[in-house]
């Protein structure tokens, strides 16, 4: 069972995500989260998926796109560090990624399909990593981080954005696993 990362395994900034991940079997939680998020977005009409509450804010489906882009980056970092990469891994600007991703022109059903495929890939990566690999440390965005912390960040980051949708977009988000 994947242990919760210690505070010295990640920059304090990421506690905002890691703290949202409940205790329990991490892979089980990730699986449940995948189904809940997919089910939530599958029920959105195209019109609702394109809603934004202010002109300079992301559309609901762009939030899912951001979740996916971030997950891809975090999973890549996890893979690199798990395999012993010693080179520092670069950061990324979420707003630049969102601006160029073009998720607003992709039907929500296709975005959900991409999310599901990505999450299966992330799940399988995390499932096959050994405890030793999960504990490996590397550098990303100029800060030390463990593979274990990256796994928790993926889950917590998604939980964070589902909460944002609930609070700011007026959607009833999926129940959060406790």
Residue 27 lies in a domain: yes
What is the pLDDT at residue 133?
Answer: 98
Q: Three-state SS for 89?
A: strand
Residue 2 lies in a domain: no
**CA separation for the pair 71, 159 (Å, rounded):** 12
What is the pLDDT at residue 170?
Answer: 80
CATH number at residue 87: 1.20.120.450
Residue in this structure with the two tokens 């096959």, named with its chain if needed: 128
Residue 99 lies in a domain: yes
Residue in this structure with the two tokens 């999960």, named with its chain if needed: 134
pTM value is: 0.94
Distances (CA, A) of 85 to 37, 38, 123, 142, 146: 32, 32, 21, 14, 12
Q: Phi/psi at 21 (nearest 5 deg)?
A: -85, 120
Residue 44 lies in a domain: yes
What is the pLDDT at residue 174?
Answer: 47
Residue 177 lies in a domain: no
- Show Cβ contacts of residue 119 under 8 Å, excluding neighbours closer than 6 positions: 30, 34, 37, 38, 71
Residue 174 lies in a domain: no
Neighbours of 12 (CB within 10 A): 8
Range of the domain at 89: 7-168
What is the pLDDT at residue 171?
Answer: 67
**DSSP3 helix / strand / coil % (the chain, rounded to 5):** 65, 5, 30
Digit-by-digit pLDDT tens for the chain (178 residues) are 799 999 999 999 999 999 999 999 999 999 999 999 999 999 999 999 999 988 889 999 999 999 999 999 999 999 999 999 999 999 999 999 999 999 989 999 999 999 999 999 999 999 999 999 999 999 999 999 999 999 999 999 999 999 999 988 886 544 443 3
Packed helices 26-42 and 60-82: angle between N→C axes, nearest 10 degrees: 150
Residue 145 lies in a domain: yes
**CA separation for the pair 10, 136 (Å, rounded):** 12
Residue 64 lies in a domain: yes
Q: How many domains does the chain have?
A: 1
């Amino acid at each position: 069972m994947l242990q919760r990362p210690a505070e010295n395994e990640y920059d304090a900034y990421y506690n905002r995500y890691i703290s949202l991940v409940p205790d329990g079997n991490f892979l089980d939680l990730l699986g449940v989260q995948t189904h809940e998020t997919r089910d939530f977005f599958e029920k959105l009409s195209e019109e609702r998926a394109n809603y934004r509450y202010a002109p300079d804010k992301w559309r609901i489906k762009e939030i899912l796109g951001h979740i996916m882009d971030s997950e891809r980056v975090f999973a890549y970092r996890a893979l690199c560090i798990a395999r012993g990469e010693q080179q520092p891994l670069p950061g990324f600007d979420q707003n630049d990624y969102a601006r160029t991703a073009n998720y607003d022109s992709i039907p929500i059903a296709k975005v959900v399909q991409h999310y599901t495929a990505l999450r299966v890939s992330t799940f399988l990566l995390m499932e096959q990593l050994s405890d030793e690999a999960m504990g490996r440390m590397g550098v990303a965005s100029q800060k030390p981080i463990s593979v274990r912390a990256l796994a928790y960040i993926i889950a917590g980051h998604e939980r964070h954005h589902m909460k944002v949708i609930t609070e700011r977009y007026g959607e009833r988000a999926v129940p959060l696993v406790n």
